[in-house]
A and B are shown apart, each in its own frame.
Chain A
Amino acid sequence: MHIMVNGKEVELSQSVSIRQLIVSQEVATPEYVTVQLNEEFVSAAELDGTLLNDGDVVEFLYFMGGGQAKS
């Protein structure tokens, strides 16, 4: 089955949880990534129990600082 991860097609031999996808995709700072599945946010508590299906669209959204000036 195929899913889209941040705009790129990823082939999976079997359905995996989002948590497993985070590991296999070697997501940086996995504790602090925001996950969207088919344009809906997935809470941290749901990452283990949410299984991916063919055609799913996953977005990993990352914290990005930059700019200047501490608050």
Chain B
Amino acid sequence: MKFSDGQLERYSRQIILKEVGVKGQEKFLKAKVLIIGTGGLGAPAAMYLAAAGVGTVGLVDCDKVELSNLQRQIIHSTGDVGKPKVVSGQETIWDLNPEVEVVTYQEWVSAANIADIVKDRNYDFIIDATDNFPAKFLINDACVLMSRPFSHAGIIRFQGQTMTYVPGQGPCYRCVFVTPPPPDAVPTCRQAGVLGVMGGIIGTIQAAEALKYILGTGELLTGRLLTFDASTMNFRQITLARRATCQVCGDCPTISELIDHEQAVCGQK
């Protein structure tokens, strides 16, 4: 692959890294990352991946930008209120790096569409930047069944957590959390609040995991849950075991097709 002068200049600070180089930059330009949710986590993840030159970025979100999003969802601006989030995200990415192909899916992921979305551009890596557990379990199950790597993350108040699933290399999200909690059984950001920077810190870690996976360098958060508490600034890593009885990746899996768990309905606000 031949780089233009503009590309060499734009990506110079990472091309000089021995772990990246021109070969790594080529990998970024050819890579396809799907980001499900363009909110607190997805906003920084999408922007850093686009800045790094990831060639194709898919954005999935059915929502429109609201004023209450802007405290943390930095891909959207005041003038974007009312606009579909995927459109606002696409415009921000193109301002940042017009070379990136941004594919927008203005819908919620469901058992009916997630496989088609993942296959649409044959995405290499998926980022779960969603806010609810039915979606998180759906993304996990889809990635396990379709053998795709993904990064899970969650944030609330001053806390965040993230882990990475790579097929055949350790536990999946369902190994750890088994089944979604009933609706409203555990607090959400909407009810409990979240410090805006949590999405920036944890979503940026998700982007770092995607970039490392694309490069094939370093150690991913496979078999490890990284937790962060901004109130004490403590990062912790918890070693996670695979669960032999896991319903989707265990020794005798019982989930062989995708299911929708009980959830809030699109537009119900």
Contact = CB atoms under 8 A, between A and B. Distances in A.
Nearest to B86: A69
A32 B186 CA distance: 8
Contacts of B153: 64, 66-67
B144 interface: no
B41 A6 contact: no
A69 B238 contact: no
Given A64-B159, A66-B198, A71 B42 contact: no
A23 B79 CA distance: 48
Given A32-B181, A61-B176, A71 B40 contact: no
B186 A61 contact: no
A59 B241 CA distance: 12
Interface stretch (B31-39, B49-57, B214-222): B31-39
A40 B134 contact: no
Contacts of A62: 161, 186
B118 to A, nearest CB: 14
Contacts of A24: none
Contacts of B260: 71
A20 interface: no
A69 B160 contact: no
Nearest to A66: B155
A30 to B, nearest CB: 11
* Residue from the set A39, A61, A69 with the largest chain B CB neighbour count within 10 Å: A69
Interface residues of B, number: 62
Interface in A44-71: 59, 61-71
Contact of A63 (B37, B175, B181, B189): B181
A69 B243 contact: no
Contacts of B161: 62, 64
B156 A66 contact: yes
A67 B186 CA distance: 15
Nearest to A32: B181
Interface in A23-39: 29, 31-32, 34, 36, 39
A67 B40 contact: yes
A64 B73 CA distance: 18
Contact of B178 (A7, A29, A34, A36): A34
Interface of A: 6-7, 29, 31-32, 34, 36, 39-41, 59, 61-71
* Interface pairs A-B: 10 shortest CB-CB: A68-B39, A64-B154, A71-B135, A66-B155, A69-B37, A67-B41, A67-B129, A69-B61, A32-B181, A63-B186
29 contacts: A29-B186, A32-B181, A32-B185, A32-B186, A34-B176, A36-B241, A39-B239, A39-B241, A40-B241, A41-B175, A63-B181, A63-B186, A64-B153, A65-B189, A66-B41, A66-B160, A66-B194, A67-B40, A67-B42, A68-B40, A68-B41, A68-B69, A68-B130, A69-B85, A70-B62, A70-B132, A70-B264, A70-B265, A71-B109
